């Protein structure tokens, strides 16, 4: 009986970028594919070590082993060459790595589904397979190099350029972005700055950007705490205002801004913020009541009466 080849379940055909930010030393991977949960397979990054994207007929072990080898002192090029040489299925793999020195390397096997290719630049590599056009990875490189803003914004620019150039021939489904620190603190939960996945969506890049803005809102919230700690009330308000803008219709940052203002004796300034939160969902008032017993709001009946007055 004639045997018919199957289609591997891990056909993560995609476009991605791996990079080291020269200004911060941070490592990042960003990826999009018409494949469910691409973020669970393709992107790998470790603070102080480097980043890996493993795709096409994806073998996730390239991620772990690539990081292991770079952690042991191998360059991205040496680590990748060794793994490719040992892989009997190397011709269907597409893998890119960037190391702690910013050196990047990539491999696109000859049997990756067209259009497929990569471009290695200074501190980054862009790679793509099963693309609508062969110009995708070049457009990604130019967008990344020419983009302004923070590291995450430049990684997003590469993904958006890929899609504008035609993207995956099948369309879109999932996306992810990971950014880690350039130096390890041995606390991975601290070193991982951004870790966002869109598992299944008709517009994963739009959703990835929205979630990135939410992540930035929480970073502004943390910066507001720091500003308050040094007595910079104007700085605190600026950070919270930015967080509120980034959160869109979600009133959480309005609520916590109001709490912080109340705790420094500015309850009248807090009332418009509470009013926004309570008008969107009255349960925020329930939460305010629960903060009093644990001393996150003052146990002052006059203050709480004012806060209740902000509810519709």
Tell me the CA distances in angstroms from 234 to 64, 239, 256, one per residue in order: 45, 9, 16
* 217-309 is a CATH 1.25.40 domain: yes
Residue 185 has pLDDT above 50, yes or no: yes
Residue 10 has pLDDT above 80, yes or no: no
Q: What is the pLDDT of residue 13?
A: 75
Rounded average pLDDT over 232-260: 97
Rounded average pLDDT over 212-220: 96
Q: Could you give the CA distance from residue 259 to residue 264 in angstroms, rounded to a whole number?
A: 9
Confidence of residue 123 (pLDDT cuts 50, 70, 90): very high
Residue 5 has pLDDT above 70, yes or no: no
Rounded average pLDDT over 50-70: 97
Give me the percent of the chain exceeding a pLDDT of 70. 97
Average pLDDT over the chain, rounded to an integer: 95
Q: Could you give the CA distance from residue 20 to residue 175 in angstroms, rounded to a whole number?
A: 19
What's the distance, CA 198 to chain centroid?
A: 10
Residue 184 has pLDDT above 70, yes or no: yes
Residue 274 has pLDDT above 90, yes or no: yes
Rounded average pLDDT over 252-270: 97
Closest CA to 24 of 197, 193, 218, 176: 193
Confidence of residue 2 (pLDDT cuts 50, 70, 90): very low
Residue 51 has pLDDT above 80, yes or no: yes
Residue 120 has pLDDT above 80, yes or no: yes
Rounded average pLDDT over 177-196: 96
Confidence of residue 6 (pLDDT cuts 50, 70, 90): low
Where would I find the H helices in 147-203? 151-164, 188-191
Q: What is the pLDDT of residue 7?
A: 52
Residue 3 has pLDDT above 50, yes or no: no
Q: What is the pLDDT of residue 84?
A: 98
Confidence of residue 11 (pLDDT cuts 50, 70, 90): confident
Residue 98, phi-psi category: left (phi > 0), alpha (psi -120 to 50), beta (remainder) = beta
Question: Which residues are bridge partners to 8 per DSSP?
Answer: none
Confidence of residue 9 (pLDDT cuts 50, 70, 90): low
Residue 242 has pLDDT above 80, yes or no: yes
Rounded average pLDDT over 113-123: 97
Q: Could you give the CA distance from residue 23 to residue 38 in angstroms, rounded to a whole number?
A: 28
CB count in 10 Å sphere of residue 55: 32
CB count in 10 Å sphere of residue 293: 9
Tell me the CATH number of domain 11-201, given options 3.30.70.1560, 3.30.830.10, 3.40.50.12780, 3.60.20.10: 3.60.20.10
Residue 1 has pLDDT above 60, yes or no: no
Domain ranges in the chain?
11-201, 217-309
């Amino acid at each position: 009986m004639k045997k018919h080849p199957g289609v591997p379940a891990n056909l993560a055909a995609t476009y991605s970028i791996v990079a080291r930010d020269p200004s911060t030393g941070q490592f990042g991977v960003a990826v999009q594919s018409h494949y469910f949960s691409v973020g669970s397979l393709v992107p790998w990054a470790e603070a102080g070590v480097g980043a890996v994207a493993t795709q096409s007929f994806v073998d996730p072990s390239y991620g772990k082993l690539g990081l292991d080898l770079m952690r042991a002192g191998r360059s991205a090029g040496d680590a990748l060459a060794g793994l490719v040489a040992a892989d009997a299925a190397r011709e269907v793999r597409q893998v890119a790595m960037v190391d702690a020195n910013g050196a990047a390397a990539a491999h696109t096997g000859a049997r990756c589904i067209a259009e497929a290719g990569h471009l290695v630049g200074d501190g980054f590599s862009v790679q793509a397979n099963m693309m609508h056009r062969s110009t995708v990875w070049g457009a990604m490189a130019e967008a990344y190099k020419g983009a302004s803003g923070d590291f995450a914004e430049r990684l997003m620019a590469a993904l958006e350029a890929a899609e504008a150039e035609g993207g995956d021939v099948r369309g879109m489904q999932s996306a992810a972005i990971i950014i880690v620190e350039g130096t390890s603190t041995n606390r991975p939960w601290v070193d991982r700055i951004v870790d966002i996945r869109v598992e299944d969506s008709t517009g994963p890049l739009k959703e990835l950007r929205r979630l990135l803005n939410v992540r930035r809102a929480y970073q502004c919230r943390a910066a507001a705490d720091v500003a308050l700690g040094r007595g910079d009330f104007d700085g605190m308000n600026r950070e919270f205002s930015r967080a509120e803008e980034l959160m869109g219709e979600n009133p959480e940052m309005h609520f916590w801004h109001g709490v912080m203002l109340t705790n420094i004796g500015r309850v009248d300034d807090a009332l418009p913020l509470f009013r926004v939160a309570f008008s969107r969902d009255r349960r925020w008032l329930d939460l305010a009541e629960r903060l009093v017993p644990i001393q996150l709001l003052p146990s002052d009946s006059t203050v709480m009466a004012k806060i209740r007055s902000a509810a519709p």
